Structure 1
Amino acid sequence: MVFDADIINILIATVAVLNTLYGLIVFSRNRKNTTNQSFFFLSLAVSSWGIAMLFLRGAHDPDLAVWGARALYATAALIPFASVYFARLFPEEKRFLSFFEKNIVPLPFITILIITLLPYGGLIEDVTLTQGAEPSISFNFLLHSVYILFIVGYFSWVYVILFSKLLKTKGILRIQLTYILIGTLATTATGVVTNLLLPYFNIFTFNWVGQIGVLAMITFILYSILKHHLFSVSVIATEIFVVVLELTLFTQIFIAQTLQERLLATGIFFGSFVIGILLIRSVIREVEARTEVEKLAKKLQDANVKLKELDKLKSQFLSIASHDLRAPLSSIRNFMSLLLEDTYGKLPPAAEEGVRQVFGRATEMAQMVDDYLNVSRIEQGSMKYDFAPADLVKLVSESVEGMKANAEQKHLDLSFYVPSGIQKIPIKADVGRLREVFNNLIDNSIKYTPKGSIKVFIEGGESTARVVIQDTGVGITEETKKNLFKLFSPGQFSRKINPSSTGVGLYVVKKHVEAHGGNVWVESAGEGKGSRFYVEFPITLTPGEATVHKFANDL
């Protein structure tokens, strides 16, 4: 057998290589994908049909030509058989074959394969070789008719499947099916005429056209991918580069003048073929990884939106629940206050102590409710501040005086220091909110100071005023300081001393101070070494007051 490098053989070989390469490219995208597997099977069937035609056209011995004809019609029967599976499985990513697909669909094909390859009494009876003409094949008339019915029947089945899917789908999938139908219809129409009907009437002049006509199917599928961006542009660009390179190297095999050059060109072709497939797979993996990251980012974005919605619902719940709790707590506190003031008569000592404890707990709960309401308003952006001229010295002094009773109950020394000569520090503030700030900070120092003292003093300069609350309490670790002013972050050590701590108070303090253009922070040498809370505000001075209100940085 001699391979003649005429234009027809070169075209058939080129299309066979191109079709195999495209099948490998699709298969390498995801080898476990059912559609990819079925398409690869189909591409191999079409390529083997082209190779069988090359074998027949290159045969110069009648016996070899007969086997070439048998191989040609056996591989041709494989195409509609493979097409049925592709049509049934497309576009499934993972699907197992049914009993019908495994055991019934192959039976007609196996029958056709047997009668095609039978050496005696089969489909092919003889082949006539004529110089300058296509091989002429003699058929068993009855078996040839059965063969044609099989080809037409299976291809008709393929189009029934594809058209039924086309009617049920929308969007990109519908576009894919449309182009696949156009390409395969063109290929089938060409092949049926040139490779079935004309040979039926002993016309073999165009028996090779079908092997080249399959290029239409590849072209339309490629067009659908490029036109509608069904795959990544970078992957497509890599595939086109590899295909062009392989076709160029494949052509070099036929252009080579000597056997040595032809062998070298063949080796280079197969080597670059393997490298090209590996390159495409590498690009596909990179694209898939990027796609996965994009999916995760989208999921994270969706989760973030849901979290914001939940956070909003939480704030609304806090607002409603806190508002509903205020009324009964106010009633309890008012009634307990009346009892403690002997409005209903003198209480026995034991009863008075019990009422005092109830009053204290109700007061704590009322403060917690106010904190939750503040959190809700802050997070919803509905917190309102009534800024007006105020005196920082007076504000802090009143808070200290109001907390002295609590300090005395724990036998703590609570004192307030103002630099000499300072009577007033003017600031613009919401007096009620700042009173909450100082009450909260001083109350915390009392709670977390088992023994010793708490000093509150003011320091600063011409443009800022700084209030410092210093205690000899339990101190704060570096780890706790990082989250101290965050919502619901009281710290584990704080919970041991004050189980009712919610981690809300200091969060509200920070937001109130920041709303006044100030800053709040804490310093501590560590656990058991006390702490210093700093609250800094801008002060408002007239030019005439500037020299009057200077005060020392240290006491």
Structure 2
Amino acid sequence: MEQFCPWEQAQYFIYSDNIPTLFFYSHIPAIIIALLVGFLVFYKSNKSGVGVTLLLITLLFSIWSIFDLILWATNRPDIVMFFWSLQILIEPLIYLLGFYLTYLFITNKDLGFKAKLLGLALYSPIVFLLPSAYNLVGVELVYCTAIEGVVAQYFTYIVELVFIISIFVLTDREYRKNISRKREILTFGLGVVAFLLAFSWGNLIGSFTDNWTLAQFGLIGMPIFVAFLAYLIVKFHTFNIKLIATQVLMVSLWFLVLGILFIRNINNVRVVTLFTLFLVTVVGYLLVKSVKKEIERKEELAKLNIELQDSIKQRESLVHLVTHKVKGSFTRSKYIFAGIIDGTFGIVSPSIKKYAEQGLESDNMGIETVDLVLNADNLQKGTVKYDMKSIDFKEIVLKAIEEKRGPIEMKGLKIENTIKDGNYTILGDTFWLKEAVHNLIENSIQYTKTGGIVVGLSDGNGKVVLSVKDTGVGINDEDKKSLFTEGGRGRDSVKINVDSTGYGLYTVKLVVEAHKGRVWAQSEGTGKGSTFYVELDAVA
């Protein structure tokens, strides 16, 4: 005849008169919190290694907790043996995954193959000896608890202790190495340890004292772990969960409070209420502190945004005032120099005429510089209206080459083109694309002392690619970072080109990007020349 434990058969697998008074508070909220946090982090971390591992831990924790409910409720020894063995299998596995989670989070890299193999080797005896008497000897019918063997009573706790020590060592090592994440690493490491210790301390006492009622308090470790995660989320924006994490946290606290309603003993109600009050106080403080900082940050950003807008307007007014004043001065002196050259002011000596020609050239360059800065400013603000039409880009490039041939040859340089036959029809603004090509060629002129410039044009794969190659000073890695930026100039560019403004290539970038193209440069280094490229979409 089959023997049973001395209480009624369980109803719905998890309910009977044998259930302790803290049953609902210690199990149900912990399971709900575990699943909510596990799935939330899993999806919000884009299914990363940390998210997957945390989800596995919370799933195993929830399964272990459900098995625990079944064990408390059942009066059948065979069910006790079966589910007790499964709990023994799951518990050290949670520790193993706890260490793996800590390693992933703290180091931001995966654990090595040998380390994984070592962890599995440490865990494997529990798996192999699970169905043997080394694990469970039998069932004590009076209390319906399993009689544990050497594996369940000693070896599993040794394995768990090894993983706890490993987490401590890992946290301490990375805490000392990583200056920028010290508090984040310490908080996460302590959170995992607190969860694991709270999870097992009741079972540890139960194994050696046979007082298994204490084991249910261990499930409070899950809310503690969630509290640590919540702190990481609001303090360091871990997992990038933000508002949703706060909502889950509040739902979790709601379930904790709800569990109090199911506690039948008034003394237990007081204990649980005190714990819940403490948890709500800690979490509430962290949330309020975080929200306060967020509000202060937003107010500061709004203030800075207003100041920035005022600064931009002042800068625009100053740029236009200065450039127009400067341009006006250049224009007036330009006409004076032109009058001297063409004889408006009478006959002058050859030397004065030569100086006037130099002055006129200087004024023209000054006006071009002012126009360049104004154009860049207007392009940046988006006030330029592009007249987009189907145009022949080859024609624009050829005209730009001819217009720049004079200044190139005057400098003793050569210019040639390697324009291939093809379809160079694009959708664009003739004026601004011509400006972009001019600026690229002018840039090569200014930074090339000897040799020449080769302008190329090719098509293919629905793209038109312009290249301007020179034998100039080249570009080092440091100067590449400032190319195509507003006012961006190389470290020694002014020594080579005293008229450098840093707006030529910046204008090219703005124009090309407005045409949905891209611009870039290549150079093997200082003294090895440069090649600038512009890529635009071709029109079929």
Provide the TM-score with structure 1 as the length reference: 0.45
In our comparison, the structure showing a higher alpha carbon Rg is: 1
